[in-house]
Amino acid sequence: MARRHLLDLQSLTGAEIERLLDLAESFEDISLRAVKKVPALRGRTICLLFLEASTRTRASFELAAKRLSADTLSVSGSASSVEKGETLLDTARNLAAYRPDVIVLRHKASGAPHLLAAHVDASIVNAGDGAHEHPTQGLLDLLTIRRHCRRIAGLKVAIIGDIAHSRVARSDIAGLSRLGAEVVVCGPPTMLPTGIETLGCTATSSREEAVADADVVMMLRIQKERAAEELFPSDREYAAAYGLDPQVLRAAKPDCLVMHPGPVNRGVELHPDVADGPRSVILEQVSTGLAVRMAALYHCAGGELPA
Ligand code: CP
């Protein structure tokens, strides 16, 4: 692949996405070894620029870089000169003066990684930009589904929750539709953006319709930090109308996977019995994220394919 950046899944072909999934799969066994480290990116430098809160994505990118023997440089919003008014571009250009090979950026503004890609001399990996995309989350979701279902094409995947503010939904829709899945997004009208169907999915406000015969149900939290106003009267009413509990899940296929990108708001979008139940692969998504981020860094830093 000629691309140096990983900015979104919308601009990737199905073949490019499959290639990244295969590469991630080839990295999975490293984390199962006694010595969890390979020299694949020795001498390379990865800058982690996280200007919005993160637990899973940040931890896994840092660990991925270390497992590939790269040097890491971490900068977070609350402990950086962004707090003193420095712009994103100035911050990134100053960090680029240390000549990192890759800058991994999380930012609250949609399009921020694309801005860096156009103006900074380093490969850029999007670790989540506003409500736009979260491509490595999309890839780890795809790899988790592919491992369990042995295919993506032909599956019915329901994505339920705050679609309007979800970058995960956009990356999942792009990746799943490229690989031939039927994607149904669902939420109250206030959380369903008009025109979402143009991304390659159908939309409904009926939870029951979305869950019926689904192979995968992906639950999303309400992204209150991105909404200008309340999108539903209360969490309790939201849970009753759009949450996933054991009773609602009965309408899905018997071996349906339950997924969630995290963080989970237990008792709101996901009943604890479902979150911790036998169909939940939520913690497996987290583990898979490590291999996917190793693949993303390896690809963007121009590493050779492993022997
Ligand atoms: N799924 C996800 O992006 O989680 P974090 O915000 O904790 O990184």
Q: With bands split at pLDDT 50, 70 and 90, how would you rate the model's confidence at 229? A: confident
Counting DSSP H helices and E strands in the chain, the numbers are 11, 9
Contact by Cβ (8 Å): 103, 123: yes
Q: Is the pLDDT of residue 1 over 70?
A: no
Between the CA of 307 and the centroid of ligand 1 the distance, in Å, is 31
Q: Is the CB of 289 under 6 A from ligand 1?
A: no
Please check whether the domain covering 135-282 is classified as CATH 3.40.50.1370: yes
- Give me the pLDDT at residue 302, please: 83
Probe residue for ligand 1, chosen from 49, 56, 125, 139 as the CB with the greatest number of ligand atoms within 8 Å:
56
Average pLDDT estimate for 118-136: 97
- Which pTM does this prediction carry? 0.96
Mean pLDDT over the full length of the chain? 95
Q: What angle do CA 58, 63, 67 make, to 5 degrees?
A: 155
Q: With bands split at pLDDT 50, 70 and 90, how would you rate the model's confidence at 304? A: low
Between the CA of 283 and the centroid of ligand 1 the distance, in Å, is 12
Only one residue has tokens 């073949």, namely 15
If you write DSSP's letter for every residue of 27-92 in order, what string do you get?
A: HGGGGGSSS----TTTT-EEEEEE-S--SHHHHHHHHHHHHTT-EEEEEEGGGSGGGGT--HHHHH
Q: Can you tell me which atom of ligand 1 is nearest the CA of 127?
A: 3
Q: Is the pLDDT of residue 306 over 70?
A: no
> What are the residues whose beta carbons fall under 8 Å from the beta carbon of 156, sequence distance 6 or more?
181, 182, 184, 213, 214, 215, 216
- Give me the pLDDT at residue 79, please: 84
Between the CA of 222 and the centroid of ligand 1 the distance, in Å, is 14
Same fold, 14-132+287-300 and 135-282: yes
Q: Is the pLDDT of residue 26 over 90?
A: yes
73 burial (CB, 10 Å; 0-12 / 13-18 / 19+) is middle
Q: Can you tell me which atom of ligand 1 is nearest the CA of 58?
A: 8
Structure tokens of 265? 């708001």
- Give me the pLDDT at residue 78, please: 82
- Give me the pLDDT at residue 293, please: 98
- pLDDT tens for each residue of 48-88: 999 999 999 999 999 999 999 999 999 998 888 988 999 99
Q: Is the pLDDT of residue 42 over 70?
A: yes
Average pLDDT estimate for 263-287: 97
Sequence-ordered alpha helix ranges (H) in 150-281:
167-178, 207-211, 235-242, 246-249, 272-275
> Torsions phi, psi of 155, nearest 5?
-75, 150
Contact by Cβ (8 Å): 143, 296: no
Contact by Cβ (8 Å): 56, 19: no
Q: Is the pLDDT of residue 3 over 50?
A: no
Domain residue limits, the chain: 14-132+287-300, 135-282
Bridge partners (DSSP) of residue 257 are 216
Q: What is the DSSP letter of 193?
A: -
23 burial (CB, 10 Å; 0-12 / 13-18 / 19+) is buried
* 161 compared with 230, residue with greater pLDDT: 161
- Other CB atoms within a 10 A radius of the CB of residue 39 amount to 9
Q: Can you tell me which atom of ligand 1 is nearest the CA of 57?
A: 8
- Give me the pLDDT at residue 225, please: 85
Q: Which CATH number fits domain 14-132+287-300: 3.50.50.60, 3.40.50.1370, 3.30.43.10, 1.20.950.20?
A: 3.40.50.1370
CA neighbours closer than 13 Å in the CB half-sphere of residue 126: 31
